[in-house]
Amino acid sequence: MLFFSFFKTLIDHEVTVELKNDIQIRGTLKSVDQYLNIKLENISVVQEIKYPHLSAVKNVFIRGSVVRYVHLPAAAVDVPLLEDATRREAANEARKRNEK
Amino acid sequence: MSFFGFNNSGHNQAAPGFSQAHNPFAGLSHRDDEGEALEFDDTYDGLGDQLEETGDDLNDDTFGGDVAPTGHGSVGRDFDFFGQTSKVANVIEEEHMRFARQQPPSKVAQHTPAPAPQSYDYGYQQQQYARPVRTGYEQYKEEPPALDDLQVDLSLWGVAPKKQQQPAQAAAPSPAPARKILSVEEVEAQMRAQAKKSPQPPPQQAPGMAPPPGLQQQQYAQQQFFNNGYQYPNMQQPPQQVPPQHFAPLQPQVPRPQDTSREPAQPAHAQPVQILQRPQSKHAQVPSPVAPSPVNRQQPPAVQTPQGLQQPHPGQGVHPTQILQNPNRLSGEHGQPSPISQPSHVAAQTHPGHPAHQGHRQQQSFSQQQQAPLAPPQVAMLSKEEQDAYLAQEAKRAKRNHKIFVMSKDNGIMTPQDKNFITRIQLQQLVQATGNPSEFGTDQSLVEDFYYQVHSQIQGGHRQHPSQPLNNFAQTYLFQTGSRQGGMRRHNRGGDNHMQRMEQQVQRAVEAAKNKPKNKQLVIEGSLGKISFSNAKTPKPLLNIKRTESSGEVQRPGTGSRTQTAAGGLSRKEALRSIEAVYDTLMKLEDHERWRPPPPVSEVEQPDEVQKSIEWGEQTARLNAKLLEALKVGAPVGVYPVHPFITLLSFNKTIKVMQRVFRHLTHQQRLTVLTLIVYSLDSMDVVKGAQVNNTNDIRFNAAMKEKVELFMLNVMSTLFNFIGELDLDLVAQLLEIVSDRNVGAIAKSKIGASLLTMILSRAEIIKHAGGGNEHSWQKWNYQYTRFFDHLAPHLPYIFPGSPTSGEDVYVWQLLAAIGIGASPDQQQTLVLQVKDRVMDTVTLAKTLPVELSTQRLNNVNLFMHSIGLDVGLLA
């Protein structure tokens, strides 16, 4: 849930999503779900010349499984908090594993 | 009735919307008013009484004659069906009556050209008739009017060629005209009826007046109200058009048109109207005229039995009416047009009407229920399947009607406000049951959604779950905001405030010293506050890494730890593991902090609370011990070349966490940490690896630079706050410890210099505040002198870079701190040591723009003022 939790905080920030087919889409993150499906608004394709068919698209819903990278806005990331959240996540996972 | 009076009698009827919530009998009231006292008055608003009956004449002009004429109340009451909860049953009965009445008039209207004008007349006539009717139905005060209507209708019908009821009709012949304006439904019904008529030539009907479409329509409407499904029959009925006959035959029931003749004798029964509707249905049903009639007759008796009243007119069979409706459907469905049958139906209907009324009343207005039982006779003719289907439908309908009836008792008991209130309560309960996410799943959500929860707390964005525990977390991280933001990329923001504040306070302290330079007794309250380590104007110190000593790179965690490992200190791996343990424990502590029980008010009264409190404290202590162990603070000093704690401090991770750690340490533990740091100053990488060189610009080491900055913001600010709480003895001890170390090396680093400044300025603040006793001051003075002697030779070399670098503010601050507490001799030494630097800076300032120049001179003045001088004197 860490990534989901994390991406939720990026809602309404501009992110660049790089898909596994190399298309990079920049847009405002509007929504993300537990599968890390992503909804972007006001998108623009980074290499627009290469993908002219997307030039008219304004909103996209991206299936989480086709995302390769998400470029984050550094200013919107709280690093120490994220570090701790990561530690917690790891601890939780470890606990769950032990419980099993 | 006046135009704006909106007399119920005339207006409501026309417009269903108006009458719905109202007293369904309001319209009737007028009629009643004439001759009899109405019980309606109780519910009635009384407006009707005020109205002038005669004045109604103009209504036609105003609203159109159609609306007003026939029954004032009859038209609109259809909609009132459920209007009054308490009288629903009665209402339903009345509805039947009304429909019955309406039908006849409509028929009349169609048949007879006179209708429109009739409406008024009609009303009067009805009244007249009403009385006779009443005799039978006196019990139902409301009903009388209906009866009247019925009679009137009959009379109207009677007027029609047919023989049967004619006598009665004769009485009220002309007026009966159609009162209603046809509704869309009615129109449709008529159209259908016509269409059907063509196929069905009703020979028998012929004699009678064609069944007025209006009747059908009315019936239709009724059916809609009562039985939605039965509309068909009406359609079919029109073809039969024998209505008048039907009416007459009412009593005799279907088979006998002849019976109709008898009927005249029964003029009193206005009910025929009701019957009419049903008859139509029958027509449809009965394919063969002859057969139906007998059947109907037979059937009626059985049906009648239930209805005591009907018995008087045995042949007429109340059932028919009821049946009629149902049959209609069947007929419609079957599409069996039987002219002969129609008459019979009509008759049946008429008869039933009378009994039906009574029965309805008795039964409380569930005509439908009655109908169901009645139906069977007619149904008998149908195939078994059909019968079954029919019965099933009837049962269903009856059930539904009964349900509606039962429920209708409570209609209107609750106001909309009441309902809203209930709704709110329900929602509340729902929320409680579901659990408020914020309260319910705080812990769970924190586990699963920690980053988001805390992040949104900090950002103050969407605070969906503002709960106390979360706030604790938010505070934890908010606390770091300054260091965090200043740490890496933008150390302008959080750190800036901090720095500026410190700088201002140092300046104030210097001001105070300058104002009363020679007066040692002078105490200026709160003047010596804080010291700024650096600020935006004085960026980071340049680094001068000396090869001779361990270089910055060597001090980097990686290489450094290797060295340490060899020396028996912490290995890098151990160190990292230990740091993670620190974090882990720290988070547990913070988690634990959220559950701090409220301090028990009374130990006697709240043993549980006390117990909780104690347990909590024990747990806290355990975690605290764990934290200290992870920090390696307790490791013996001097055993390792570098103390394990200091090793840990060489990691950025540790530096970052120090602030948080400090919050969970006791005063003694903090002192231990501080002592450890001071003791190990010259072996710390941020000191050892960040030595300055005043000759050339510092060699740039980004990593070390960042680390120093990080250390300044996280550790130094924490220590600064802590040192601010120490008393003179402790400060003197700290100074003593420092003096035992390599003071020169310490002073040559920004960290070291800053720490020295803190210690010295703290003593100065205590002095200004009048703290400390004689003994302590003696001790301090001794330590100060010793320290000064150690440091003095190094003074010229503690400046970072050349004067042009402009990063020497912290050095001037240190010099100021030294100068304030220095004796005249020491001050002279000071001046001698740094004279060159002062002069260089002043010279440089002259070549700089005003702003920079002023800034530089101010820096120098920090020191100059502390010893009672001013840069201005040099100029």
Least confident segment among B2-6, B651-655, B767-771:
B2-6
- Where is average pLDDT lowest: A1-15, A69-83, B551-565, B735-749? B551-565
A77 CA to chain B: closest CA distance, Å? 9
- Is it the case that residue B697 has pLDDT exceeding 90? no
Residues of chain B in contact with residue A6, where contact means CB-CB under 8 angstroms, are: 451-452
Q: Does the residue A14 lie in any domain?
A: yes
Yes or no, beta carbons of B583 and A8 under 8 Å apart: no
**What is the rounded distance in angstroms from the CA atom of residue B124 to the CA atom of residue B119?**
9
Cα torsion through B529, B535, B539, B541, rounded to 10: 10
* Per-residue model confidence (pLDDT) at position B398: 92
Query: Is the CB of A29 inside 8 Å of chain B's CB atoms?
Result: no
pLDDT tens for B320-336 read: 444 444 444 444 444 44
Question: What are the backbone dihedrals phi and psi of residue A57, each rounded to the nearest 5 degrees, phi first?
Answer: -80, 135
Q: Do the Cβ atoms of B169 and B160 come closer than 8 Å?
A: yes
CA dist., res. A44 & res. A24, Å (int): 9
Which chain A residues are within 8 Å of B660, Cβ to Cβ?
A: none
* CA-closest candidate to residue B50, choices B19, B13, B95, B6: B6
Average pLDDT over residues B176-198: 65
**Residues of B whose CB is below 8 A from A2:** 450-451
Interchain contact, B450 vs A84, CB within 8 Å = yes
Residue B180 CA to residue B367 CA, distance in Å, equals 23
To the nearest whole Å, the CA of A9 is away from the closest chain B CA by 6
Q: Which of B285, B274, B323 is nearest to B302 (CA)?
A: B323
Per-residue tokens: B472: 């604790």
Residue A78 within a domain: no
CA of A96 to nearest chain B CA: how many angstroms apart?
12
Contact B664, B627 (CB under 8 A): yes
Residues from chain B that touch A32, judged by Cβ atoms under 8 A, are none
Query: Residue B693: is its pLDDT beyond 70?
Result: no
| CB–CB contact A5 B449 (8 Å) | yes
Q: Which residues of B fall within a CB distance of 8 Å from A5?
A: 448-453
Q: Is B459 on the interface with A (CB under 8 A)?
A: yes
B452 touches chain A (CB under 8 A): yes
SS (H, E, C) B115-184: HHHHHHHHHHHHHHHHHHHHHHHCCCCCHHHHHHHHHHHHHHHHHCCCCCCHHHHHHCCCCCCCCCCCCH
Does A11 map to a domain? Answer: yes
pLDDT digits (tens, 9 = 90+) for B794-821: 888 888 777 777 677 888 888 888 888 8
Instruction: Name which residue leads in pLDDT, B486 or B687.
Output: B687
Binning pLDDT at 50, 70 and 90, where does residue B75 land? low
B338 has a chain A CB within 8 A of its CB: no
Q: What is the DSSP letter of B716?
A: I
Instruction: Work out whether the CA dihedral B680, B681, B685, B686 comes out positive or negative.
Output: positive
CB pairs under 8 A between A and B: 55
pLDDT at B487: 34
Of the partner residues A81, A87, A91, the one whose CB lies closest to the CB of residue B477: A81
- Which has more pLDDT, A58 or B458? A58
Determine the residue of chain B that is closest to A96 in CA distance: B447
CA distance B437 to B441: 5
- Whole-number Å distance between alpha carbons of B867 and B510: 9
Whether A25 is in a domain gets the answer yes
C-beta of residue B651 within 8 angstroms of C-beta of residue B557 = yes
Q: List the single residue in B with minimal CA-CA distance to A82.
A: B451
pLDDT of B549 higher than 50: no
Query: Which residues in chain A have their CB less than 8 angstroms from residue B447's CB?
Result: 88, 92
pLDDT of B676:
87
- Give chain B's end-to-end CA distance (angstroms, integer): 110
Contact of B479 with chain A, judged by CB distance below 8 Å, is answered with no
> Per residue in B224-275, pLDDT tens?
444 444 444 444 444 444 444 444 444 444 444 444 444 444 444 444 444 4
- DSSP per-residue codes, A29-79: EEEE-TT--EEEEEEEETTTTT-GGGTT---EEE-GGGEEEEE--GGG--H
Q: Indicate if the pLDDT at residue B168 is higher than 50.
A: no
Considering CB atoms only, which of B451, B489, B587 is closest to A9? B451
Q: Which residues contact A58 (CB under 8 A, 6 or more apart)?
A: A41, A42, A43
Compute the distance between CA of residue B714 and CA of residue B721 in angstroms, rounded to an integer. Answer: 11
Q: In the predicted model, what is the mean pLDDT of residues B4-10?
A: 53
**Which of B310-319, B499-508, B573-582, B842-851 has the lowest average pLDDT?**
B310-319
In order of A83, B58, B107, the CA distances from B182 in angstroms are 78, 21, 12
Residue B68 reports pLDDT greater than 50 = no
Chain A touched by B397 (CB under 8 Å): no
* Beta-bridge partners for A16: A26, A71
Chain A CB within 8 Å of residue B460 CB = no
Polymer length of chain B: 875
Within a domain: A80 = no
Question: Contact, B483 vs B495, CB < 8 A?
Answer: yes
Contact, B699 vs B763, CB < 8 A?
A: no
Interface check for A34 against chain B (CB to CB < 8 A): the answer is no
pLDDT at B600: 64
Q: Are B580 and A87 inside 8 Å of each other by CB?
A: yes
Which among A9, A74, A79 has CB closest to B452? A9
Average pLDDT over residues B742-751: 84
What whole-number percentage of chain B has pLDDT above 90?
1
Residue B283: burial class (beta carbons within 10 Å; 0-12, 13-18, 19+): buried
Calculate what percentage of chain B has a pLDDT beyond 70: 41
Calpha distance B252→B314 (Å, rounded): 8
User: B258: closest CA among B305, B309, B216, B207?
Assistant: B207
Of B458, B480, B587, the CB nearest to A87: B587
Strand partners, B723: none
Host H or E run for residue B230: none
Phi, psi of B586 (to 5 degrees): -60, -45
Residue pLDDT, tens place only, B78-94: 565 555 565 666 666 66
Q: Does the CB of A84 have a partner CB in chain B at under 8 Å? A: yes
Would you call A77 an interface residue with chain B, using a CB distance cutoff of 8 Å? no
| Interchain CB contact of A8 with B (< 8 Å) | yes
Q: Do the beta carbons of residue B391 and residue B376 sit within 8 Å? A: yes
From the first residue on, what is the mean pLDDT of each consecutive set of 10 residues in chain A (100 residues)?
89 93 93 92 91 90 94 88 88 84
Q: How many CB atoms sit inside 10 A of residue B594's CB?
A: 16
Mean pLDDT of chain B: 63
B-chain CB neighbours of A91 within 8 Å are: 584, 587
Q: How distant is the Cα of A82 from the closest Cα of chain B, in angstroms?
A: 6
Which of A74, A80, A85 comes nearest B450 by C-beta? A85
Q: Residue A23: which domain range?
A: 2-73
Helix or strand (DSSP H, E) at A14: strand A14-19
Name all contacts of B489-494 with Cβ < 8 Å and 24+ positions apart.
Answer: B489/A74, B491/B709, B491/B713, B492/B536, B494/B713
Domain total of chain A = 1
HSE-up of residue B600 (Cα within 13 Å, Cβ side): 16
Confidence bin at B290 (pLDDT 50/70/90): very low
- Average pLDDT rounded to a whole number, residues B537-541: 53
Closest residue to A78, CB basis, from B458, B489, B656: B458
Q: B181-185, B316-320, B666-670: lowest mean pLDDT where?
A: B316-320
> Which one, of B382, B387, B287, lies nearest residue B337 by Cα?
B287
Nearest partner of B108 among B18, B170, B47, B58, judged by Cα:
B170
How many Cβ atoms sit within 10 Å of the Cβ of residue B595? 12
Q: Residue A34: which CATH number?
A: 2.30.30.100
Buried (b) or exposed (e) across B100-127, using 16+ Cβ within 10 A? bbbbbbbbbbbbbebbbebbbbbbbbbb
Does residue A99 form part of some domain?
A: no
Q: How far is the C-alpha of B442 from the C-alpha of B567, rounded, in Å?
A: 48
**B847-862 pLDDT, tens digit each:** 888 888 888 888 888 8
Best to test chain B binding among A81, A93, A95 (most B CBs inside 10 Å): A81
Facing B455 at nearest CB: one of A81, A88, A92: A81
SS3 content of chain B, % helix, strand, coil (to 5): 70, 0, 30
State the ipTM, two decimals. Answer: 0.81
> Residue B43's pLDDT band (boundaries 50, 70, 90)?
low
B480 touches chain A (CB under 8 A): yes
Chain A CB contacts of B459 under 8 Å are: 9
Mean pLDDT over residues B743-770, rounded? 85
Is there a domain that residue A65 lies in? yes
On whether the CB atoms of residues B386 and B379 are closer than 8 A, the answer is yes
* Mutation for A interface: B446, B447, B448, B450, most A CBs within 10 A: B450
Residue B856's pLDDT is 81
pLDDT mean over B441-453: 71
Q: Judge whether residue B415 has pLDDT over 80.
A: yes
Give the model's confidence band at B702: pLDDT under 50 very low, under 70 low, under 90 confident, else very high. Answer: confident
Residue B844: per-residue pLDDT = 82
How large is the average pLDDT for residues B698-721? 81
Task: Name the residue among A2, A5, A80 with its Cβ closest to that of B484.
Answer: A80
Residue positions counted in chain A: 100
Q: State the pLDDT at residue B190.
A: 77
Residue A6 included in any domain: yes
Residues pairing with A26 in the sheet: A16, A44
> With bands split at pLDDT 50, 70 and 90, how would you rate the model's confidence at B731?
confident
Whether B617 and B625 have beta carbons less than 8 Å apart is answered as: no
What's the confidence (pLDDT) of residue A61?
Answer: 94
What pLDDT does residue B486 have?
35
Q: The tokens of A76 are what?
A: 């919107």
The residue to which tokens 């008393």 are assigned: B727
In chain B, residues with a C-beta closer than 8 Å to the C-beta of A78 are: 451, 455, 458, 477, 484
Closest Cβ–Cβ partner in B447, B480, B489 for A80? B480
Min Cα–Cα distance to chain B from A55, Å: 33
Pairing type for strands A67-71 and A60-62 reads unpaired
Is B50 strand, coil or helix?
helix
DSSP letter assigned to residue B499 = H
CB atoms < 10 A from the CB of A4, how many? 17
Residue B636's SS3 state is coil
B452 vs A contacts (CB less than 8 Å): 5-6, 8-9
Q: What is the pLDDT of residue A13?
A: 92
Which of A5, A87, A91 is facing B452, going by the closest CB pair?
A5
Chain A closest-CA separation from residue B756 CA (Å): 30
Buried b (16+ CB within 10 A) or exposed e, B215-242: bbbbbbbbbbbbbebbbbbbbbbbbbbb
Query: Given this model, what pLDDT does residue B50 score?
Result: 67
User: Strands across the sheet with A24-32, in order?
Assistant: A60-62, A38-45, A24-32, A14-19, A67-71
Q: Is A45 left (phi over 0), alpha (psi -120 to 50) or beta?
A: beta
Q: Which of A79, A84, A92 sits opposite B447 (nearest CB)?
A: A92
B9-13, B252-256, B842-846, B861-865: least confident range: B252-256
